[in-house]
Amino acid sequence: MIKLLIFGPTGSMGKLITKLALEDKEIDVVAACDVTNIGEELAYIAGVKDPNNIKISDVKYLTEVISQAKPNIAIDFTIAPATEKNCLICAENGIRCVIGTTALSQEFFDKFERLIKKYHTPAVFSPNMATGVNVLFKMASILTSYLAEWDIEILESHHHRKVDVPSGTALMIANTICDTLECDPEETIKFGRSKGLNKRKVGAKNEIGVHAIRGGDIVGDHTILYAGPGERIELKHQAHSRECFANGAIKAIKFISDAKEDKIYSTDEVLGL
Ligand SMILES: NC(=O)c1ccc[n+]([C@@H]2O[C@H](COP(=O)([O-])OP(=O)(O)OC[C@H]3O[C@@H](n4cnc5c(N)ncnc54)[C@H](O)[C@@H]3O)[C@@H](O)[C@H]2O)c1
């Protein structure tokens, strides 16, 4: 049985994931930790009628929560500094993590991977758990291989509360394209363009522009623009609601409960793409 610990149950993603997890017969939610709404009924926060008698715990007492509730899987959609601390504690305690938080550092991933191998706690990380977006990554790779000489630009739009720029998904699209083009992401990806004279762009191998828009309650749009002589193609994904990410998170929780290799899995492995 999956015994789930939820980080950030009061957040936009946390609430949705909590609702789906509480309603899922294969998942037993045993604990939830946050920095707000401490002591409140988890089911009430998630808008679920049946109480499950779990109250939100203060994340300060994470180690005590783990030893009492004995979760075997944790889900984390919070903020980078919180994930980078809490998921290391989970791995050291034999708990497998599913992480959706974006803007995590390479230093965290290095430490986390070492702990995963030491404590045999495979994890899933994906900056975008929506099925459609992961299919978009595959399509970007295919289209890039045919249009390597064209200009490629990435545009992303998100709600005005989003703190990280560019989105983790836009970065992953840019890295996927660089992998296909066999070029160095550090040299090729350019974030936005400044006023004045910019150097002339000559094809995607020379430069891939990534542009961010922040406004209102846009859930998440990503467009990959392929522009060639006299024609263009746009590959576009739009998330209509956060449900697509939450459904992906539940799939990842079930996948990781059974995963065999001590590594960080990606969503395309979860979805078998
Ligand atoms: N991977 C995906 O598919 C996907 C989809 C949407 C959002 N995200 C990412 O998920 C993260 C959360 O997004 P959101 O829109 O739900 O944000 P949000 O601001 O609505 O929620 C963040 C939650 O984290 C909680 N929190 C803060 N510090 C904490 C700590 N130390 N311990 C436990 N909880 C803590 C906050 O109280 C809040 O409940 C962001 O990084 C976002 O980019 C990923």
Mean pLDDT of 195-202: 81
Q: What is the pLDDT of residue 232?
A: 98
Helices (H), the chain: 12-23, 42-46, 62-69, 80-92, 106-119, 131-146, 168-181, 185-188, 243-257, 267-271
Q: What is the pLDDT of residue 234?
A: 98
Q: Which of 155, 180, 188, 182 is nearest to 170 (CA)?
A: 155
Q: What is the pLDDT of residue 17?
A: 98
30 in helix, strand or coil? strand
Mean pLDDT of 244-260: 97
pLDDT score of 9 more than 90: yes
β partners of residue 264? 123
Q: CA distances (Å), 176 to each of 67, 144, 214, 236, in order?
A: 40, 9, 23, 15
- pLDDT band at residue 12 under the 50/70/90 scheme: very high
Q: Which of 231, 239, 236, 223 is nearest to 153 (CA)?
A: 223
**Joined tokens for residue 69:** 């509730």
> What's 41's DSSP letter?
B
Q: Which of 271, 262, 9 is nearest to 128 (CA)?
A: 271
Q: Which of the listed residues 13, 15, 158, 237 should we mutate to test ligand 1's pocket, taking the one with most ligand atoms within 8 A of CB? A: 13
pLDDT score of 261 more than 90: yes
Q: Which atom of ligand 1 is nearest to the CA of 126?
A: 1
Question: From the CB of 128, is ligand 1 less than 6 Å away?
Answer: yes
Check residues 150 and 163 and name the one with the higher pLDDT: 150
Question: From the CB of 31, is ligand 1 less than 6 Å away?
Answer: no
Distance 193 CA to ligand 1 centre (A): 29
Distance 58 CA to ligand 1 centre (A): 16
186-200 as b/e: b if 16+ CB within 10 A: eebbbeeeeeeeeee
pLDDT score of 200 more than 80: no
Helix or strand holding residue 242 (H, E): none
**Joined tokens for residue 218:** 């846009």
Alpha-carbon span 104 to 102, nearest angstrom:
6
Alpha-carbon span 251 to 255, nearest angstrom:
6
Supply the angle between the helices 131-146 and 243-257 in degrees, to the nearest 10: 90
Question: From the CB of 82, is ligand 1 less than 6 Å away?
Answer: yes
Q: What percent of the chain has pLDDT over 90?
A: 91
- pLDDT band at residue 271 under the 50/70/90 scheme: very high
The answer to whether residues 109 and 250 touch, using CB atoms and an 8 Å cutoff, is no
Q: Which atom of ligand 1 is nearest to the CA of 79?
A: 41
- pLDDT band at residue 203 under the 50/70/90 scheme: confident
> What predicted TM-score, i.e. pTM, was given to this entire model?
0.90
Distance 246 CA to ligand 1 centre (A): 12
The answer to whether residues 139 and 223 touch, using CB atoms and an 8 Å cutoff, is no
Confirm whether 263 is a catalytic residue: no
Q: What is the pLDDT of residue 193?
A: 87
104-240-24-66 Cα dihedral, nearest 10 degrees: 20
Kindly report the average pLDDT of the chain as a whole number. 96
Distance 153 CA to ligand 1 centre (A): 28
Please report where in the chains the tokens 């706690």 appear, as a residue: 121
Question: From the CB of 169, is ligand 1 less than 6 Å away?
Answer: no
Mean pLDDT of 73-96: 98
Q: What is the pLDDT of residue 198?
A: 78
Alpha-carbon span 177 to 145, nearest angstrom:
9
- pLDDT band at residue 113 under the 50/70/90 scheme: very high
Alpha-carbon span 259 to 265, nearest angstrom:
9
Q: What percent of the chain has pLDDT over 70?
A: 100
Q: What is the pLDDT of residue 73?
A: 98
Q: Which of 59, 41, 47, 39 is nearest to 15 (CA)?
A: 47
Q: What is the pLDDT of residue 51?
A: 78
pLDDT score of 49 more than 90: no
